Amino acid sequence: MSIIIWIDPWTTTIWFSIIQKISNSYEIIDYWVFKTTPKMDLKIKLLEIWIDTKSLMEKYNPDLVVIEKLFWWANIKTWIDVSHARWVIIYEVIKKNIKILEYTPLQVKKAITWNGSANKLQLQNAIKILFRLDKIPTPDDAADAIWLAYMWWLNFGSVKDNLI
Protein backbone atom coordinates (compact mmCIF):
# COMPACT_ATOMS: atom_id res chain seq x y z
CA MET A 1 0.00 0.00 0.00
CA SER A 2 1.32 3.45 -0.95
CA ILE A 3 0.10 7.00 -0.50
CA ILE A 4 0.60 9.56 -3.25
CA ILE A 5 -0.15 13.27 -2.83
CA TRP A 6 -0.79 15.61 -5.75
CA ILE A 7 -0.42 19.35 -5.29
CA ASP A 8 -1.46 22.28 -7.46
CA PRO A 9 0.25 25.28 -5.82
CA TRP A 10 -0.84 28.92 -5.76
CA THR A 11 -0.56 31.54 -3.03
CA THR A 12 -4.12 31.98 -1.79
CA THR A 13 -5.39 28.51 -2.67
CA ILE A 14 -3.46 25.23 -2.86
CA TRP A 15 -5.25 22.12 -4.18
CA PHE A 16 -4.40 18.65 -2.91
CA SER A 17 -5.52 15.15 -3.69
CA ILE A 18 -4.56 12.03 -1.80
CA ILE A 19 -4.46 8.71 -3.65
CA GLN A 20 -3.89 5.31 -2.14
CA LYS A 21 -2.34 2.54 -4.20
CA ILE A 22 -3.31 -0.97 -3.18
CA SER A 23 -1.82 -3.69 -5.39
CA ASN A 24 -2.58 -2.54 -8.94
CA SER A 25 -5.52 -0.27 -8.17
CA TYR A 26 -5.82 3.35 -7.09
CA GLU A 27 -8.41 5.03 -4.94
CA ILE A 28 -8.92 8.72 -4.27
CA ILE A 29 -8.86 9.04 -0.49
CA ASP A 30 -9.68 12.74 -0.49
CA TYR A 31 -9.20 16.03 -2.28
CA TRP A 32 -9.58 19.53 -0.97
CA VAL A 33 -8.25 23.05 -0.94
CA PHE A 34 -6.02 24.81 1.58
CA LYS A 35 -6.69 28.52 1.67
CA THR A 36 -4.40 31.19 3.02
CA THR A 37 -5.57 34.47 4.46
CA PRO A 38 -6.65 36.69 1.54
CA LYS A 39 -4.82 39.99 1.00
CA MET A 40 -2.25 39.01 3.61
CA ASP A 41 1.44 39.75 3.16
CA LEU A 42 3.15 37.05 1.09
CA LYS A 43 5.48 36.13 3.97
CA ILE A 44 2.47 35.21 6.13
CA LYS A 45 0.88 33.24 3.28
CA LEU A 46 4.11 31.29 2.79
CA LEU A 47 4.16 30.47 6.50
CA GLU A 48 0.56 29.24 6.31
CA ILE A 49 1.40 27.13 3.24
CA TRP A 50 4.41 25.63 5.02
CA ILE A 51 2.32 24.77 8.12
CA ASP A 52 -0.42 23.16 6.00
CA THR A 53 2.12 21.21 3.93
CA LYS A 54 3.98 20.02 7.02
CA SER A 55 0.71 18.87 8.56
CA LEU A 56 -0.29 17.07 5.36
CA MET A 57 3.04 15.25 5.10
CA GLU A 58 2.90 14.21 8.75
CA LYS A 59 -0.71 13.01 8.54
CA TYR A 60 -0.33 10.92 5.37
CA ASN A 61 3.41 10.15 5.24
CA PRO A 62 3.32 9.82 1.43
CA ASP A 63 5.67 7.75 -0.67
CA LEU A 64 5.48 10.22 -3.56
CA VAL A 65 4.45 13.84 -4.15
CA VAL A 66 3.49 15.08 -7.60
CA ILE A 67 3.45 18.86 -8.00
CA GLU A 68 2.36 21.04 -10.88
CA LYS A 69 5.17 22.88 -12.67
CA LEU A 70 4.86 26.55 -13.34
CA PHE A 71 4.37 27.89 -16.81
CA TRP A 72 4.88 31.43 -18.06
CA TRP A 73 2.24 34.01 -17.22
CA ALA A 74 2.02 37.58 -18.46
CA ASN A 75 1.89 38.69 -14.83
CA ILE A 76 5.44 38.25 -13.55
CA LYS A 77 4.53 39.18 -9.95
CA THR A 78 1.97 36.37 -9.77
CA TRP A 79 4.47 33.96 -11.31
CA ILE A 80 7.14 34.89 -8.76
CA ASP A 81 4.71 34.66 -5.81
CA VAL A 82 3.51 31.22 -6.91
CA SER A 83 7.15 30.16 -7.34
CA HIS A 84 7.77 31.04 -3.71
CA ALA A 85 4.73 29.03 -2.61
CA ARG A 86 5.80 26.10 -4.74
CA TRP A 87 9.28 26.05 -3.23
CA VAL A 88 7.93 26.22 0.32
CA ILE A 89 5.99 23.04 -0.48
CA ILE A 90 8.96 21.39 -2.20
CA TYR A 91 11.24 22.28 0.74
CA GLU A 92 8.96 20.48 3.20
CA VAL A 93 8.69 17.43 0.92
CA ILE A 94 12.48 17.28 0.44
CA LYS A 95 13.00 17.57 4.20
CA LYS A 96 10.95 14.41 4.60
CA ASN A 97 13.02 12.68 1.89
CA ILE A 98 9.94 12.06 -0.26
CA LYS A 99 10.28 11.59 -4.03
CA ILE A 100 8.87 14.45 -6.16
CA LEU A 101 7.60 14.40 -9.75
CA GLU A 102 6.53 17.51 -11.69
CA TYR A 103 4.19 18.11 -14.65
CA THR A 104 2.96 21.21 -16.49
CA PRO A 105 -0.77 21.90 -16.90
CA LEU A 106 -0.40 21.39 -20.66
CA GLN A 107 1.10 17.91 -20.15
CA VAL A 108 -1.77 16.96 -17.86
CA LYS A 109 -4.52 18.32 -20.15
CA LYS A 110 -3.07 16.50 -23.16
CA ALA A 111 -2.80 13.25 -21.20
CA ILE A 112 -6.42 13.36 -20.06
CA THR A 113 -8.28 14.86 -23.01
CA TRP A 114 -5.68 14.80 -25.84
CA ASN A 115 -6.29 18.54 -26.00
CA GLY A 116 -3.88 20.98 -24.36
CA SER A 117 -6.56 23.68 -24.32
CA ALA A 118 -9.30 21.63 -22.66
CA ASN A 119 -11.49 23.58 -20.25
CA LYS A 120 -12.03 22.73 -16.58
CA LEU A 121 -15.43 21.11 -17.13
CA GLN A 122 -13.98 18.74 -19.75
CA LEU A 123 -11.22 17.79 -17.33
CA GLN A 124 -13.61 17.37 -14.42
CA ASN A 125 -15.82 15.04 -16.45
CA ALA A 126 -12.80 13.02 -17.57
CA ILE A 127 -11.66 12.67 -13.94
CA LYS A 128 -15.17 11.63 -12.87
CA ILE A 129 -15.13 8.84 -15.46
CA LEU A 130 -11.51 7.74 -14.94
CA PHE A 131 -11.76 7.52 -11.14
CA ARG A 132 -15.38 6.29 -11.13
CA LEU A 133 -16.59 9.21 -8.99
CA ASP A 134 -20.31 9.74 -8.33
CA LYS A 135 -20.06 13.40 -9.35
CA ILE A 136 -17.50 15.78 -10.81
CA PRO A 137 -14.95 17.00 -8.25
CA THR A 138 -15.73 20.42 -6.80
CA PRO A 139 -14.71 23.12 -6.41
CA ASP A 140 -13.66 22.98 -10.05
CA ASP A 141 -10.07 23.88 -9.22
CA ALA A 142 -9.81 21.00 -6.76
CA ALA A 143 -9.81 18.72 -9.79
CA ASP A 144 -6.40 20.14 -10.78
CA ALA A 145 -4.65 18.01 -8.19
CA ILE A 146 -6.55 14.93 -9.34
CA TRP A 147 -5.43 15.61 -12.92
CA LEU A 148 -1.87 15.36 -11.70
CA ALA A 149 -2.78 11.97 -10.24
CA TYR A 150 -3.93 10.78 -13.61
CA MET A 151 -0.77 12.08 -15.29
CA TRP A 152 1.37 10.12 -12.86
CA TRP A 153 -0.83 7.07 -13.31
CA LEU A 154 -0.39 7.19 -17.10
CA ASN A 155 3.39 7.37 -16.87
CA PHE A 156 4.21 5.28 -13.84
CA GLY A 157 1.06 3.53 -12.60
CA SER A 158 2.12 0.19 -14.01
CA VAL A 159 5.66 0.43 -12.67
CA LYS A 160 5.32 -1.28 -9.35
CA ASP A 161 8.58 -0.73 -7.49
CA ASN A 162 10.61 1.82 -9.43
CA LEU A 163 9.21 4.86 -7.67
CA ILE A 164 7.37 3.79 -4.56
Catalytic residue among 52, 68, 92, 144: 68
Q: Is position 102 annotated as part of the catalytic site?
A: no
> Which amino acid type is present at position 125?
N
Residue 29, φ and ψ in degrees, nearest 5: -75, -45
Distance in angstroms (rounded) separating the CA atoms of residues 32 and 84: 21
9 cis-preceded (ω within 30 degrees of 0): no
Q: Is position 140 annotated as part of the catalytic site?
A: no
Q: Is position 8 annotated as part of the catalytic site?
A: yes
Q: How far from chain centre, in Å, is Cα 83?
A: 15
Catalytic residue among 8, 48, 92, 144: 8
Catalytic residue among 63, 81, 102, 141: 141
As to burial, measured by CB atoms within 10 angstroms (0-12 exposed, 13-18 middle, 19+ buried), residue 50 is middle
Q: Catalytic positions, please?
A: 8, 68, 141
